[in-house]
Amino acid sequence: MLHLPACVLDVLKDLTAFGAAHDAAEPRRDRKMLNLDWPAAEMLYLWVRQARRRRILEIGTSNGFSAIWLAAALPTDGGIVSIDRSADKLAQARANLQRAGLADRVTLLEGEATQIVEGLAGPFDCVFFDADRLSAPDQLSHLLPRLTDDACLLADNVLSHPAEVEGYLRSIETLGLFDSITLPIGKGLNIAVRR
């Protein structure tokens, strides 16, 4: 069992219930929250904490559910940059992070991830891909010089959307810089660690 502060756990439970009800009623994919499954979120938390990550880039903020998990796993001097194209979702994320007491650890950026990634300085020791899966290979290409020597890459939806994630996984393999494994947790979580 994970031991999270009560204020963080309360927000995460609320967002889980809200996300399930909202997504079931929302016909438009771009308006759904599409949050991580709880077991995948727990795995992210444990991985980031155990690997002692300090500077994370998240591509796909939604309403802040995964950013809260990631921020809770960071040391107090760690930070996250999180990107989403939806101003409405970022406003929700900002409020949810504030409520969880973690807003000071997360910088939220609005816009197209590939364009924003081109201008980020880095360095990042962890990247979580959880948005447009088709553009992930381009984002990875821009990020390579901004990754630390021990960087890890995390990608969700590997088993639920294999055709869309195929290009990203092929990029990881072709680069020859990472060891990777896909875990059958949630919708499929790929973990790639720089050699």
Cα 157 to Cα 34, 97, 130, 168, 186: the distances in Å are 10, 23, 8, 12, 8
Scanning 51-195, the segments in alpha helix (DSSP H) are 65-73, 87-100, 113-119, 136-143, 162-175
**Is the residue at 180 inside a domain?**
yes
Predicted local confidence at residue 125, as pLDDT: 98
- pLDDT of 132: 82
pLDDT, average across residues 125-138: 93
Supply the mean pLDDT for the chain: 95
Considering the domain boundaries, does residue 39 fall inside one? yes
Number of domains observed in the structure of the chain = 1
pLDDT score for 1: 79
Question: What CATH number should be reported for the domain holding residue 147?
Answer: 3.40.50.150
Furthest CA-CA distance within the chain: 44
The pLDDT tens digits of the residues spanning 35-82 come to 999 999 999 999 999 999 999 999 999 999 999 999 999 999 999 999
**Residue 1 is assigned to a structural domain of this protein:** no
Confidence band for 194, pLDDT divided at 50, 70 and 90? very high
Q: Is residue 185 part of a domain?
A: yes
Is 17 within the bounds of a domain? yes
What's 91's DSSP letter?
H
Residue 82 pairs in a beta bridge with 58, 108
Residue 107 has pLDDT above 90, yes or no: yes
Stretch 142-166: mean pLDDT, rounded?
Answer: 95
CA dist., res. 117 & res. 190, Å (int):
20
In a domain, 183, yes or no: yes
Domain that holds residue 29: 6-194
Predicted TM-score (pTM) of this structure: 0.95
Which token pair is 61? 């903020």
User: Domain for residue 30, yes or no?
Assistant: yes
